Structures are given as C-alpha cells and as structure tokens.
Amino acid sequence: MISGAMLIAVAYLLLSLGILLVERRRTREGGPDAVSVFITIFWLQCCVAGGAICAMLPFVDGTRPTGVQFIDNVFRAADFTSLMMVFALTAAFVVFFYVGCAIAQLAFGGVRAAPRAGRFEMIIHENRLWAVLVAGAVLTGASFWLLGDTMFLRYANLILLRSDDPHVTRNVLNSNAFVLTQAWGWLAVIPLFTIAKRRGFGPTWWLCLALAIAFALMGVSRRALFLPVLMSYLALALATQRWRIGYVVAAAGPMILWIAFGKDLISAIAYGGTVERALGVYESLPSALLRSSSDIGITVVESIGTISLIDVPPRWGMDHLLSLAQRFPEGLLGLDIDWPERMVRISTRVFVGENHQDVPPGLMGQMWLDFRVFGPVVWGLLFGLQVGLVQQFWTRTVKTVQSAVVFVIITFVIALPINSGSFDFSFGMDIIVLVLALYLCCSWRPLSDQFAGAAGSGVLVRSQ
C-alpha cells in the first residue's frame, strides 16, 4: 500500500529493541521502577503498535484497509513522509524523555521524605477505600438499574450510552456514573493486592475481584478490562522487582483476541449482531492485524492523520490550557469568554466529519502541532521531569504491594496523554475523582530507624 512502510517497520523494531536494552541495563540492579512503567505504556502504544501498523500496510486493500472510517481515511491519505515523520517524532520523544528523567534525578535527588531515615512507607486506609468503592458501586448500580427493564436491555442501553446513541437519554446520573466507572475500576485493583498479601485469597478477596470485574463490565470497552490487567502485572513487577515474562506470555493470547474482537462483540449486544458476524468482521489476517494494532496504537494512527491532513499554524500548547479551561462551567464568575476552537474538534472535522465523537490529533501529531520539530524536546522533557519526580519518591518508598500498585496508578495518570496527545482525559471528572480518592485513602509516613532493616528488604506491609 505505502512504499517503504516495511523500512519504517524495521526502524520501529530497532527502536523497540533499543528501549528494551536501555531498560534492561538501567534496571539491572534496582529492578523495574516508575520510569519502567511509563516507558512500557509508551512502548506498547507507540513503538510496538507503530511497527505492526507499518508492517501490515503493504498487505491490505488500500481502499478499505480496516473497515473503520476514521482509520481508513488516515491510511488512504498517508505516505512515506508522514509515516517517517511520526517515527522520527517517536524516537526523539524517547531520547528527551530519558534526558528529562536524568534532569529530575539531579534536581530532586536530594529530596528527603523523612528527616532522619530518608525513607517512608505507604499506608492504605482500607476502610476509606472500601467506602469509596461501595459508594461507586451504588452509583453505578443505581444508574444501570434505571437504564431498562431487563438486565440484557440495561447492558445494551449502557453500550448505546457510551456511543452517544440518541436512543438513550443522557442525564446527570447516568452520564456521571458511566464516566466514573474507570476511576472505580482502577481503585479496585488496590485491595486485590493488599488483601491477598495480608489475608490470602479468601472470601474478601473474591468479593473484591467480583467488584473489579463488575466495574470492568460496566466500562463497556476493551480498555476497561485490559488496563486493570496491565496495571496488575506492572504492580506485581514493581512489588517483586522482577519482570515476570511468563505472565506476559500466558496473557498475550487472550488479550490480543480481546483487542481484535472485543469491540465487535460488545457492539453485537447493543445492535443485534451475532457472535458469528462479530468474529468474521475481518476480510483477511493482515487486515485483522492492522486494525488490532491500530486500536492499540490509536495515537500513532491519529498522529499519521495529523501530519498528513492538518496544516495549521503552531499551537504553542494552547490546546492544553483549553483542556483545563473546559473543566470550569461557562459563565463562571460572570465571565463570558470566547474560547478558541479546540484542536480535537478541528482534527475530528478533518478526520471523519463534524458530527462525531472527538478524534484527537495523537501524541506525535500534537507535538508537531505545538512546536514543530521542537515538539519532542518540550514534551519529552515535560514527561521525563514528571516521571523522574515520581521515581525519586519511589526510590524512597518501601517496596510493598500497596506502594507498587499506587505508584502504577499515578504513573498511568501521568501517561494518559500518550493515548491521544490531548489533556482532555487528564482533566476529566473520573481522573479528578481518582486523584481525590487516592489522597483520601493513601498516606505516607516517615520510616523510623527501628524499621530500617525491614524497609531495605521490602517486607514491611501495613494497611489500616
């Protein structure tokens, strides 16, 4: 389809191997850390997916490569230059991200969480956490119950609600309940680890697992299940300070199948399709692999579309201020501000048309829109400084299951713009509630000298 796409796929492969070698050398002594979590998220969405996309493009029908309107529009407009620019921006981001982490280590390396020992432990207030999760379950359950007369109809309407289907009335209750489902699902990962560590896999743990699965189902999306699984793996890697590759191998098959067919299976529930039709949606194996990798690396697809189709003056970071500004109600304090048009609406109009859900410009695309060739410098340093600061606190935290899972969630919040290039999701109501819940349910305590030995071995586990 695109001449030279395989060469760029090889370049992505070499970049991926380079990242793995850097991480292997960097974490050889201390094990996985916050930097590893962030770079893993980036590696999956941008490097692995980007390479797979370029590798599959020559083997699909150029007029209808995936059957998805937005993705097909982008690939029909793409050329070697746009693919190469997205790869170059990706590679440059990686370089300056590591530079930002190094600067953070120099700048914040002297920070001490405790005046004497310089170490601290994380406390999970389980009663508060359970109160938050129960409140979330009640809100979600009440909204779900009002969506129909039968369980099947309620779930079908929930899927339609997520798709902004006009046949389902959107009100304050169901809109907020749906948006907050992600926050409850991420928070539910924490007690899965703390309960297992303190009490084993008893009735309470199974109750928590059932609650986490319920939140994943209420999310009615592939990421609602995939992200908690990925979080759990990374939290286990942080807590044990070991990459457990066997777990990755065991989960890879089911997760790939879920990514490939999950969206169509969910849609079949709401729109009256059949399982056979959902499983036969792909015309060929390359088309299936291209669409699956495009879904994982949607930020790469969006970025290719931005480079190929959008030509606007530099944005200079204006869109990120608009993402924050839209959190405030219109007319607040009597102000009536005529905000500039947000980039996500411009990109949506260009990619698929005006009357569609937001299609953002992608991470690499937004880098280019913001500062052109200097985009990776600014973005890489920005994220490197953030993750580097989190890393400094991680190095001074006792390595327990509760500290590991909380640090993974914090890093995921920082990494949210990778998926879109937009901070709209970072300032969303679900993330605001998630951060407030973490502040309410988690606390750090200076580690006294008498526990220093236990802290060094990472065996100190506490929750309240």
Is residue 136, in this structure, part of any structural domain at all?
yes
pLDDT digits (tens, 9 = 90+) for 281-301: 777 888 889 999 999 999 999
Is residue 462, in this structure, part of any structural domain at all?
no
- 140: containing domain: 5-457
The pTM score is 0.90
Is 17 strand, coil or helix? helix
pLDDT over 70 (residue 25): yes
Is residue 436, in this structure, part of any structural domain at all?
yes
pLDDT digits (tens, 9 = 90+) for 183-199: 999 999 999 998 988 88
The pLDDT of residue 459: 37
Nearest Cα neighbor of 119 from 402, 386, 399 is 399
Is the pLDDT higher at 152 or at 15? 15
Is the pLDDT higher at 367 or at 253? 367
pLDDT digits (tens, 9 = 90+) for 155-168: 989 988 888 888 88
- Mean pLDDT, the chain, as a whole number? 87
The pLDDT confidence band at residue 108, using thresholds 50, 70 and 90, is confident
Q: Kindly list the distances between the CA atom of residue 7 and the CA atoms of 2, 48, 56, 302, in Å, as whole numbers in the listed order.
A: 11, 15, 12, 20
Is residue 86, in this structure, part of any structural domain at all?
yes
pLDDT digits (tens, 9 = 90+) for 27-58: 988 889 999 999 999 999 999 999 999 999 99
Q: Is 124 left (phi over 0), alpha (psi -120 to 50) or beta?
A: beta
User: Domains in the chain: how many in total?
Assistant: 1
Q: Give the least confident one: 20-29, 271-280, 331-340.
A: 331-340
Is the pLDDT higher at 58 or at 245? 58
pLDDT over 80 (residue 272): no
- Look at the block and give the residue holding tokens 């700048």: 107
Is residue 464, in this structure, part of any structural domain at all?
no
Q: Which residues contact 353 (CB under 8 A, 6 or more apart)?
A: none
The pLDDT of residue 389: 94
Is residue 288, in this structure, part of any structural domain at all?
yes
User: 360: buried, middle or exposed (CB in 10 Å: 19+, 13-18, 0-12)?
Assistant: buried
The pLDDT of residue 110: 54
The pLDDT confidence band at residue 246, using thresholds 50, 70 and 90, is confident
pLDDT (average), residues 315-325: 85
